[in-house]
Amino acid sequence: MSETLTPLVDRFGRAVTYLRVSVTDRCDFRCTYCMSEAMTFLPRKDLLTLEEIDRLASAFVARGVRKLRLTGGEPLVRRNIMWLIEALSRHLGNGLDELTLTTNGSQLEHHAEALAACGVKRINVSLDTLDAAKFRVLTRWGDFDKVLRGIDAADRAGLKIKINAVALRGCNEDEIAELLRWSHGRGFDLTLIETMPMGEIDADRTDQYLPLSLVRARLEQHFTLADIPFQSGGPARYTQVAETGGRLGFITPMTHNFCESCNRVRVTCTGTLFMCLGQEDAADLKQPMRASKSDAVLHAAIDEAIGRKPKGHDFIIDRTAAPSLSRHMSTTGG
């Protein structure tokens, strides 16, 4: 790192070491808690090119980002995505500790070996149910067997897998113990996530919202959960499950936010930097990146934005209120 490129530290003294980059807002699923079935996606001309995503992510690595996660939508539906992953892999061991992605698993069967060859060591797979019929209802378009084949392919390729499941009242709350046993039985960590009020969907989130404090209390009727200091670099707080030997994470933006230790920022597929998932304040990085072949203007824009990173978010789920944020998670990057 050159002397002029200092590490990114916000006004609260938090070092920004984790960047999540959405490579597309498109997805081949329409999960009921994430988006409406009749989604209008961004015009392709508005998206950053893969070369621009590489340049932008590389600028953050030069400023001390050690973990880079590609998201979407579904990142593996982006055309030529493996070119980008291979390009970014050049930073591994040269500033970057980890290159990873979050996926719905639908394309893993085709890409798992190539991901491993690029130095990807672990991935997060979103899977909210083990019931094929319920999976189809939840995702609207998803093929459960295809996702399982993708998970198997990733496992064979040597990728470490963490299962992410959104806890949904009246939907999968009676399956969480089974999902825990299945995940740990396969050697996968499991992380549970509270649904977040982002974007209009075809449902009422007050009907979906299930506090993880309640989920944990229910699980503790059958399992012994011990808090552990393990960190994966993200917001999850982890427990060790004595009966299975596996780790169980909780991401609780609603009941117990994790803002005091936030080390993350997000860049959308249009080059918009969100300093906080739960706030609307953002910075355009596309314009300064396109304004000059030099990265000096880009770095100045990043510095200005990090200086505005807020102390935390203010998510609220209320039947009488609009979503806390108008944008969908797929727009920001999951």
pLDDT tens for residues 37-72? 878 888 988 999 999 999 999 999 999 999 999 999
324 is in an annotated binding site: no
- Residues 6 or more apart from 43 whose CB is under 8 A from it? none
Tell me the one-letter amino acid at 194: E
34 carries a ligand binding annotation? yes
Amino acid at site 260:
E
140 is in an annotated binding site: no
Nearest to 159 by CA among 244, 76, 228: 76
On the question of pLDDT at 92 being above 70, the answer is: yes
SS3 46: helix
Instruction: Answer yes or no: are the C-beta atoms of 19 and 7 closer than 8 Å.
Output: no
Residue spans of the domains in the chain: they are 18-332
Residue 262 known to bind ligand:
yes
Q: How many CB atoms lie within 10 A of CB 149?
A: 16
**Is 265 in contact with 328 (CB distance < 8 Å)?**
no
Q: How many helices (H) and strands (E) does the chain have?
A: 11, 12
Neighbours of 250 (CB within 10 A): 23
Strand (E) or helix (H) holding 103? strand 98-103
- Among 28-32, 45-49, 202-206, the minimum mean pLDDT is found in 202-206
- Any known ligand binding at 269? no
| Residue, of 39 and 134, whose pLDDT is higher | 134
- 171 labelled binding-site residue: no
249 contact partners, CB below 8 Å, separation of at least 6:
162, 189, 190, 191, 192, 232, 236, 237, 238, 239
Residues 2, 17, 64: CA angle, nearest 5 degrees:
5
Query: Is residue 109 predicted with pLDDT exceeding 70?
Result: yes
20 annotated ligand binder = yes
Mean pLDDT of 300-307: 96
Longest dimension (CA), the chain: 59
Reference 165, options 203, 121, 134, 202; nearest CA is 134
Q: Is 329 annotated as a binding residue?
A: no
Report pLDDT for 124: 98
In this structure, of 44-48, 82-86, 244-248, the range with the lowest mean pLDDT score is 44-48
Distances (CA, A) of 267 to 52, 282, 286: 12, 9, 10
Specify the CATH number of the domain 18-332: 3.20.20.70
Any binding-site annotation on 196?
Answer: yes
- Whether residue 322 is predicted with pLDDT greater than 70 in this model: the reply is no
pLDDT at 325: 46
